[in-house]
Structure 1
Amino acid sequence: MSSIPSLLRDRIAATPDAEAYRTPSHDGWTSLSWREVGERVRRLALGLAEIGAGPGTRVAILSSTRLEWILADLAVLSTGAATTTIYPSNTAAESAFIVTDSGSTIVIAEDDDQVAKLRSVQKELPDVTRVVVIDGTPSDDGWVVPLGSLDGGGSEGGEGGDGGDGGDYDAMVDAIAQDDLATLIYTSGTTGRPKGVELTHDNWLYAGAAVRELDLISGDDLHFLWLPLSHSFGKLLQVVMIDIGVPTAVDGRLDRIAENLGALRPTFMAAAPRIFEKIHNTVAATVQREGGAKLRIFGWARRTGLRVVRARQRGVAVPLTTRVEYALADRLVFAKLRERFGGRIRFFISGSAPLSRDIAEFFDAAGLTILEGYGLTETSAGSFLNRPETVKFGTVGPPLPGTRVRIADDGEVLVGGRGVMRGYHGLPEETAAALEDGWLHTGDIGELDPEGRLSITDRKKELIKTSGGKYVAPTYLEGRIKAACPYVSHVFVHGDRRNYCTALVTLDMDVVRPWAEAEGLPAEAEALREHPRMREEVAKAVDQVNAGEAGYATVKKFAILSEDFTVESGELTPSLKIRRKVVEERHGAVLDAFYDGA
C-alpha cells in the first residue's frame, strides 16, 4: 500500500462487513461497516474533486471530533489533496493564519458558528473558494455549501471500481505516492508562532504498522475516541484503527466521556493526563466528602493496592497476606470503579503531556492500567509506548518498532525513523535546525534505562534554573501537587532566575463546590480561594510533595487564583498544556509579589 486511502481500501477488502465506526444517534448509537464507510468516502471524495480538491491542494477541517471529521479527512486524502487541521477552539485570527499559511483553498467547517468565524475574516481568505459546512446553512453567494451536496455525488455503485465512478476514485487513490503530503498540523506551541508540521502518507503508514506489530489490540476490541482529531494523537489513533480493523466509537463531547464509557463498555481509550487527573480527583473528593466508614475503607484499599503495585514495579513477590487483602480491596472498592468505566477496560493510553506517577499507580491499583507513551507532532504522535506486560511508571516505555533514539550530550532526546516529519511548512531554516544530522531534536530532556525505556524529565526550554544555579523540572512538581489534592485543577510552578520556587494554583470547581457546600464554605472560587480551609487543603498537598524534594526544588509560597486556566483564555494550548509565557505575563504581579523583600 502507498497511502492512507489505499490502506482503507485494503481494510474494506479484508473485513467489509465488520463494524468500523459507532456514532451517537437520537436513540443510542449507530454503526457503520467498513464497506459503508468506503462508499461514503468514495462519494465525498468525488464531490470534493469536483470543487477543486486534488494533488497539490490543501483542504482545512475546522470541526470537533465526530464521524464526519474522519470521513471528510479520508475523502480529502483520496483526492490526492492534504488535510490541514484546525481546532474548533481556535480564534478567527488563528484560523485565518492556518488557512492562509497552509494555502488551503477549501475549508470544511462543523456548523454555522464556525462558518461565522470564517466569515468574519473572509477578506483575509482570498484563496478559499468554498466552505463546506457539516451541520449548517448554505449561503446565497455560493461560498458556503452543505456537506450533503458533496456526499451525494457520484453513483450508488459499490466502492473501488464496482461501477459508476469507482474507476475515477480508484485512479485518484492509485496516483497517491507514499511521500506525498497527507497532513498539515500546526503545533499549538507553548511559545511562539505555530509551525505547520508536514506529515506524509508514509509517516502515518509507519505509525499504524508499528502499533500493529506490538499486538496490543485487535478487531475484537472496541475503541472509544473522543480526542481532538485536529491533534496528531487523535489522527494517529484514526490510522491505527484502520490498519488493524478495530471498531471505534466516536464522540468528541468532553462532558459525555464518563457517560459514554459506561454505555459503550469499550476495551481501551486514549486520553491526555488531565482526564485521568479529573477522574482521580472526583473519586477522591467524593469519598472524602462522604467520610466515615467509606473513607476509611477507600483509604485502606488504596494503601493496599499501592503496596501491590509498587511490589510488582520492583519485581518482587507480593506476600500472601497482602494478596488476600488486595482481593478484598478489589471487591469492596476497585471493582466498582472499573464498572463505572463499563467493566471491560483492558488498559488506558496516556499521551500529550507527562502523567504523574501517583495517578498511574492509583489507576493500576484499581486494575485500570495506564500505558504512558510519548511522541511529538513532528514524529507522527507515536514514538514510545509502555507495554502491558512490562509497564514501568515514570517512563514512556521503549521505542515503537522502527523508531531510533539517542540522548545528546546535553540530555536532549533525539528521534529518528520513518515517523519523523518531512519538515515545517515554508520554514526551511527551522526545518534544518530541527532535523540536524538526520535526527529530530525534540526539545525534551530525558534518559534511557538499561531496558531501553525512556524517561522524560522536562522540556529543554522550560527547565527552571534558580538564581542559585540549580535546575528544577516544573511539570514534575505540578503533576505531583495535582495528584496530592483532589480540589486542584492546574498548578504552575515558577522560579526561573529566582532564589526559590513558587506556584499558582487553580481550583476544579466541579470537584470543589460539593465539598465546599457540605462544609458550609463559600461555593464560588473568588470567595473560596483565600478561605483558610481551602488554603489548608492546598498547603497540605504542597507540604506533602515538598517533603520528598531537595530544598531548592520545594515550593515556598503559593497563591490560589480565582479563575482556572482554559484554552479560551489562552493559558492552555488546545492539547491542554500550560502556555507558560502567557501565564507569567498575565499573572506577573502575583508572581513578583512572592519575591518582595526576598
Structure 2
Amino acid sequence: MTDTKTLIENRPPSVATLFLERVAATPDAEAYRYPVPPESGTGPDAWQSLTWAKAAARVYAIAAGLMDLGVRPEERVALAANTSVEWILADLGVLCAGAATTTVYPSTNADETAFILADSGSRVLFAEDAAQLAKARERRAELPDLVHVVVFEAAGATDADGDGWVLSLAELEKRGVAYLELHPDAVVDAVGALTRDQLATLIYTSGTTGRPKGVRLPHDAWSYMARAIEGVGLLDENDVQYLWLPLAHVFGKVLTAGHITVGHVSAVDGRVDKIVENLPVVRPTYMAAVPRIFEKVYNGIAAKAREGGPAKYKIFQWAAGVAREYARVTQRNMRLTGSATAPLALRSKHAVADRLVYGKLREAFGGRLRACVSGSAALSPEIGYFFAGAGIHILEGYGLTESSAASFVNPGEAYRTGTVGKALPGLEVRIAEDGEVLLRGPGVMQGYHGLAEKTAEVLEPDGWLHTGDIGELSPDGFLTITDRKKDLIKTSVGKYISPVEVEGRFKALCPYASAVLVIGAGRNFCTALVALDEPAILGWAAENGLAGRPYAELVAAAEVRSLMDGYVTEVNDGLQRWQQVKQFRILPRDLDIEHGDLTPSLKLKRPVVERQFAPLIEEMYAGSHES
C-alpha cells in the first residue's frame, strides 16, 4: 500500500486528471445517486444512479460544448445553482475543458451576482433555472464578457432575445457530442495540458463583512486536497456519502475532490428541507455538515422528548448527561491509554440509555453512519459530546476558503471533541506570538483576485497564510481554536471576551435557541440577542398553556421571557463576572439567509444582525451601568 507522503508527492497536476484516472479504474462502479421527483408532484422521490463511465460521458460532452462556445484555458465559467449532480458534472466539465469555475450562491441577489460575474470576467454562466437566469439578464448590459447562459432546468428559461445567449444543458451537451465527433481527443488533450499553477476555481467569500473577495485556487490545490483526504483514511470505496452542502462553498467543493480519488458513492441533494427525509433512504455511512444542523437536530430531539411528557423528558435529560459523561471518559482514556474504555457502572448506564434513546437517534440518521465531519464554524463541545456518547461521531475539522477548506480534521477513532484535529499531511502549521494560526502548503490560495493589497494583508511572500484565528496546538498536534482574532470583543473596562464561547454554552444548554449573538464591544457589560427555533418553542407552548399562539406573539410573551431568563441565569453561573450576560432580548423572528442574517453556509453575519436589531441593542444599554 502506498504511504501518504508518496501519495501526496506523486499527485497529478489536477483533479481533472484524477477524474480520468478514476473513470479508467472503475468505469462501471456507482459514482453518484440523485433524486428524481415524481411526475405527479406528490409522493417520495425516486433515486437514480450514474456510474463513473456514464458520468464521464456527460462531463466530456459538457467540456467539449464549452470549447465549442469558444471557452479557452483559464477563462472563467460561473455556476449559480443549488447542490445537485448537474452542478458537479458542470464543474468537472469546466475543469476538463481547461477553464476555471466561478462559484455563485443561488441565494445571491442580482446586484452581487452581477458583481461576481463582472469581477471574475466569466464567459459562460451555468444557471439552475429561470430565476437564476433572470439575475444575469437583468444586468446583461453590464456584463459584456458573458457570452452565454446555460440553464439546467429549461422550463421558463427561454432565449427571449433570440440571439442564442441562452441554451439548455441538453443543448450544450448535444453541441459537445458533435464537437467530439470532429475533435475526438479534445478533452483528453485539454486535461493533459493542465499545469499545477493554472487557475481552477474562483471561490468568492461569503461576504460577512462587505463585498466578497474572489479566492484564487489553482489545480494543484484540489489535487493535493484529494490526495490528502485519501491519505487520512476517513473514507474508503465502500462508503456512501450524503452530500447536501452548498457546492459554491469551499467545504462542499472539497468533498467532490475527495470523492473522486477515493471512489466511493456520493448521494447528492442540496435541498436542506429534505435532509431528515433523505437520511433513512440514503442510509449514508458518512456525512459532512455545519454546526447549525447538529444544533437543530439536538433541539428537535429535546423538544420531542418534552412533548412526550415530564417522564419522557427526564429520561432524555438523564440520557443526554450519560452520553456526555461517557464521551468525555472514553475520549480521555483513548488519549491516555489508547483504548476507549469506561468503568463498568458507566457502561451499564450507557447501555440502558442506548436502548431508550441513542438507538432511535442513530436510526433517524439511517442506521449506518460511521462519522460526520463538522466544519465552517465552531461546534459547541456540549453538543459534540452528546452525539459522541450517542454513537454518532462528529469529527470537527477546520480550514478556510483561502486554504481550500480542509486544513485540519479529527482522526476517526481517536478524535477529540472540542478540537479540530490534526493537520492534513503535507500542511505546515505554526502559532504566531499573538496566538494566531498560520498555515503553509499546497492548498493555500494564490491570492485574492485583482486585490494585491488585500492579498498582502494575509499572505506572506514565503507562503504563510494568516488565518485570523487564535489557536493552541497540543504536543501531539491537535489544534484547538480558542478565538477569532477579529471576533474578540473588549469591554469598556478593558476585559477581553470571546462571544463564541458564551454563545456556545447557551445553545448547548437551551434547546429552544436557534441563534445567540453576544454584544459587548466598547460597552461596560455584555448583553445578548436570542433567536428561537420555531418548531421547538411551538412545542413548548403547546404544553404550557400557550397552544395556538403564533410565533411572533410567543416570542413576546412573559412566559417565554421567563423561560429564557432561566437559561441565561444557568449560563451565567458558569462564567466569570465580566463574561456574564446582564440583559437579553428575544428577536421577533429567527435568523435566516433570506434576511441576510446568515451566509449561505449558515454562518452568522454579526455586523448585519447588529445593524438590523440596533434599536433592541440600544434599549438594553439605555441608562444602564455596570453594578
TM range (shorter): over 0.9
User: Cα gap change, 1:457/1:94 in structure 2, threshold over 3 Å: closer, same or farther?
Assistant: same
How far is the alpha carbon of 1:156 from its aligned partner?
8.9
Which residue number in structure 2 is paired with residue 10 of structure 1?
Answer: 21
Could you tell me whether the CA contact under 8 Å between 1:155 and 1:164 is conserved in 2?
no
Which residue number in structure 2 is paired with residue 470 of structure 1?
Answer: 495
1:86-125 to 2 correspondence within 5 Å? 86-125=104-143
Aligned to 1:266, the other structure's residue is in SS state coil
How far is the alpha carbon of 1:165 from its aligned partner?
4.2
1:500 aligns with 2:525: yes
- 1:3-22 deviation digits (Å, cap 9, x = unpaired): 12111000011111111000
Matched to 1:510, the amino acid is: P
1:520 aligns with 2:520: no
Could you tell me whether the CA contact under 8 Å between 1:273 and 1:351 is conserved in 2?
yes
Which residue number in structure 2 is paired with residue 203 of structure 1?
Answer: 221
How far is the alpha carbon of 1:164 from its aligned partner?
6.6
Which residue number in structure 1 is paired with residue 443 of structure 2?
Answer: 419
Aligned to 1:456, the other structure's residue is in SS state strand
Which residue number in structure 2 is paired with residue 580 of structure 1?
Answer: 606
How far is the alpha carbon of 1:155 from its aligned partner?
4.2
CA distance in 1, matches of 2:322, 2:553: 38
Matched to 2:374, the amino acid is: S
CA distance in 2, matches of 1:448, 1:221: 31
Equivalent of 1:178 in 196, 205, 209: 196
How far is the alpha carbon of 1:367 from its aligned partner?
0.3
Which residue number in structure 2 is paired with residue 529 of structure 1?
Answer: 555
Equivalent of 1:372 in 396, 400, 409: 396
1:433 aligns with 2:453: no
Which residue number in structure 1 is paired with residue 41 of structure 2?
Answer: none
Which residue number in structure 2 is paired with residue 134 of structure 1?
Answer: 152
How far is the alpha carbon of 1:298 from its aligned partner?
1.8
Equivalent of 2:279 in 239, 261, 264: 261
1:336 aligns with 2:336: no
- 1:54-92 deviation digits (Å, cap 9, x = unpaired): 213100000000000000000011111100000000000
Which residue number in structure 1 is paired with residue 473 of structure 2?
Answer: 448
Could you tell me whether the CA contact under 8 Å between 1:155 and 1:165 is conserved in 2?
no
Could you tell me whether the CA contact under 8 Å between 1:79 and 1:173 is conserved in 2?
yes
Which residue number in structure 2 is paired with residue 541 of structure 1?
Answer: 567
How far is the alpha carbon of 1:515 from its aligned partner?
2.4
1:59 aligns with 2:70: no
RMSD of aligned Cα (Å) = 1.6
CA distance in 2, matches of 1:494, 1:432: 31
- 1:361-394 deviation digits (Å, cap 9, x = unpaired): 1111110010000000000000000112221111
CA distance in 2, matches of 1:509, 1:99: 36
How far is the alpha carbon of 1:321 from its aligned partner?
1.8
Aligned to 2:585, the other structure's residue is in SS state strand
How far is the alpha carbon of 1:578 from its aligned partner?
1.4
CA distance in 2, matches of 1:410, 1:189: 26
Matched to 2:363, the amino acid is: E
CA distance in 2, matches of 1:189, 1:525: 30
Structure 1 window deviating more from structure 2 (562-571 vs 221-230): it is 562-571
1:480 aligns with 2:474: no
Q: Give the TM-score, by structure 2 length.
A: 0.92
CA distance in 1, matches of 2:182, 2:26: 23
Q: Give the TM-score, by structure 1 length.
A: 0.97
Aligned to 2:175, the other structure's residue is in SS state coil
Which residue number in structure 1 is paired with residue 430 of structure 2?
Answer: 406
CA distance in 1, matches of 2:319, 2:375: 28
1:149 aligns with 2:140: no
Aligned to 1:348, the other structure's residue is in SS state strand
1:284 aligns with 2:320: no
Which residue number in structure 1 is paired with residue 233 of structure 2?
Answer: 215
How far is the alpha carbon of 1:32 from its aligned partner?
0.5
Could you tell me whether the CA contact under 8 Å between 1:57 and 1:81 is conserved in 2?
yes
Could you tell me whether the CA contact under 8 Å between 1:305 and 1:366 is conserved in 2?
yes
Aligned to 1:438, the other structure's residue is in SS state coil
CA distance in 1, matches of 2:438, 2:311: 51
Structure 1 window deviating more from structure 2 (130-139 vs 298-307): it is 298-307
Matched to 1:581, the amino acid is: P
Which residue number in structure 1 is paired with residue 381 of structure 2?
Answer: 357
How far is the alpha carbon of 1:417 from its aligned partner?
0.7
Aligned to 1:352, the other structure's residue is in SS state coil
| Structure 1 unaligned residues grouped into runs of 5+ | none
Which residue number in structure 1 is paired with residue 5 of structure 2?
Answer: none
CA distance in 2, matches of 1:298, 1:351: 27
Number of aligned pairs?
594
Identity %: 52
How far is the alpha carbon of 1:303 from its aligned partner?
2.1
CA distance in 2, matches of 1:488, 1:296: 20
Structure 1 window deviating more from structure 2 (332-341 vs 479-488): it is 479-488
How far is the alpha carbon of 1:141 from its aligned partner?
3.0
Structure 1 window deviating more from structure 2 (393-402 vs 449-458): it is 449-458
Could you tell me whether the CA contact under 8 Å between 1:507 and 1:525 is conserved in 2?
no
CA distance in 2, matches of 1:520, 1:379: 51
Matched to 1:515, the amino acid is: W
Aligned to 2:185, the other structure's residue is in SS state helix
CA distance in 1, matches of 2:567, 2:182: 66
Could you tell me whether the CA contact under 8 Å between 2:22 and 2:261 is conserved in 1?
yes
1:49 aligns with 2:83: no
Could you tell me whether the CA contact under 8 Å between 1:22 and 1:30 is conserved in 2?
yes
Which residue number in structure 2 is paired with residue 270 of structure 1?
Answer: 288
CA distance in 2, matches of 1:413, 1:537: 39
Aligned to 1:442, the other structure's residue is in SS state strand
Which residue number in structure 2 is paired with residue 387 of structure 1?
Answer: 411
How far is the alpha carbon of 1:531 from its aligned partner?
1.5
User: Cα gap change, 1:404/1:111 in structure 2, threshold over 3 Å: closer, same or farther?
Assistant: same
